Amino acid sequence: MDHTVLMPAAAGRRDAASVEAAPGLPRTNDPAPGLLGDARYVLPLKWADDTGLAGLARYLAEVVTWLPVTVVDGSAEELFAAHRRALPEAVDHVRPQPWPGANGKVAGVMTGVRCAREERIVVADDDVRHTRQTLERIAAMLGQAEVVRPQNYYLALPWQARWDSGRTLLNRALGGDWPGTLGVRRSVLLAAGGYDGDVLFENLELVRTVRAVGGREAVALDVLVGRVPPTVSHFVGQRVRQAYDDFAQPHRLLAELSLLPLLCWGLRHPGGLAAGALALCGVAEIGRRRAEGARVFPAGTVLWAPLWMLERSVCVWVAVVLRARGGVSYAGSRLRTAGHSRAALRRRARSQG
C-alpha cells in the first residue's frame, strides 16, 4: 500500500479568504465574487447516451458559480452538440486533445489540465457531486500537498450501492478508498510530463506520478463527496475491471488471490466461515466510523462487506485469466497494464530530469 499523508479532521478548514491566499500558490487573475480563487473543475466525459444529462447540467450550473468548469467531451458528434446545448453557457465545453494511450479519461484530464490557467485542479467523474464545502477543503489542502484524495459515498442506496459501499468501508479502514475525484497541482503534474494513458487504474497512476516527482499526497478521509449510484448494468460490468486494478497493487492482489482457497476451506468449516464474515464486518465498521464516516454511511452498509469480498474472491481469478490473454477490454481495445509501480515511475522521473 502506498504511504500517504493522512490529514487530521481539522486540516485544510479555512475561510474563503485564506483559500484564495493559500501559501505557495501563484495567483493568475483575481477571482470573481463568489468564486474560489485559483481553482478549476475538470470533468472528462464520454457518453454513449444522455440518460443523466439533465441531472449533470443542473449540478454544473451550481458548480460554475463556485469555480470555473471545463468539460472535456469525447462523445460522438451528435451527443457533443446536445451536451453543448444543455450545459450552462459559462461551462467551457471542449474536445479532448491527442494524448498517448487507449484510456480516454486520461486524455480528457490532461486536456483540461493543459487548458487551465489555474493552479489547483479538481478532477471529477460525471457521477460525482461536490458541494462548495468539499471543493473549498480540497482547494485549501492543495496549499499543503500536491495531490489530494477525498472519499466518496453514495447519495442513494439501492442494493448495488450498498454492495459497493462494503468495499469502500474496508478500504477506508485500511488507509483510504480510491474515489472518482482528485485534487492536483497543475504545475506539478505538467512538470512530471503528465501521466500514462495506457493504464486501467488511472487515478492511482496520477497519484503515483505526482509522488514520483516529490509531490505530497493527502488522503482526506473526512472530505466526503457524494456520488450518484451506478445503474445495475454498469455496476455488473465493473466487477472484473475493478479486480484487474489490483495488478497495480501486488500485495493486495496476492491477498485477494488467497481468498477463494480460504472460502473453499470454509465450506467444510462453517464456524470459521462465520467468524471470517464477522471479522470483515468489524473491519468495515472501523472504516465507517473513521473521520466522520458514520455521518454518511448507514450502519447496515457494513453487512455488505462479506458479499463484496465473496465477489472479489472470484473476480480476481477472472482478472488473472484476462491478464494471461492480453488484458482487460476497454473502449474497443485492451489494456494490459493496471498501473505502473512507484519504482518504475521514479525511474521515469529521473530519466526526464
Question: Mind listing the pLDDT tens digit for each residue in 39-65?
Answer: 999 999 999 999 999 999 999 999 999
Residue 272 · residue 266 · CB < 8 Å: yes
Higher pLDDT, 276 or 19: 276
CB neighbour list of residue 255: distance below 8 Å, 6 or more residues apart: none
Q: Is the dihedral of CA 66, 67, 68, 74 positive or negative?
A: negative
Buried-state track 247-279, b at ≥16 Cβ within 10 A, e below 16: bbbeebbeebeebeeeeeebeeeeeebeebbee
Residue 33: is its pLDDT beyond 60?
A: no
Instruction: Please give the average per-residue pLDDT across 163-186, as a whole number.
Output: 97
Over residues 267-315, the pLDDT tens digits come to 888 888 899 999 999 999 999 999 999 999 999 999 999 999 999 999 9
Residue 15: is its pLDDT beyond 60?
A: no
Say how far apart CA 216 and CA 146 lie, in whole Å.
5
What pTM was computed for the model? 0.88
Over residues 94-153, the pLDDT tens digits come to 999 999 999 999 999 999 999 999 999 999 999 999 999 999 999 999 999 999 999 999
| Grid cell for residue 235 | 455496476
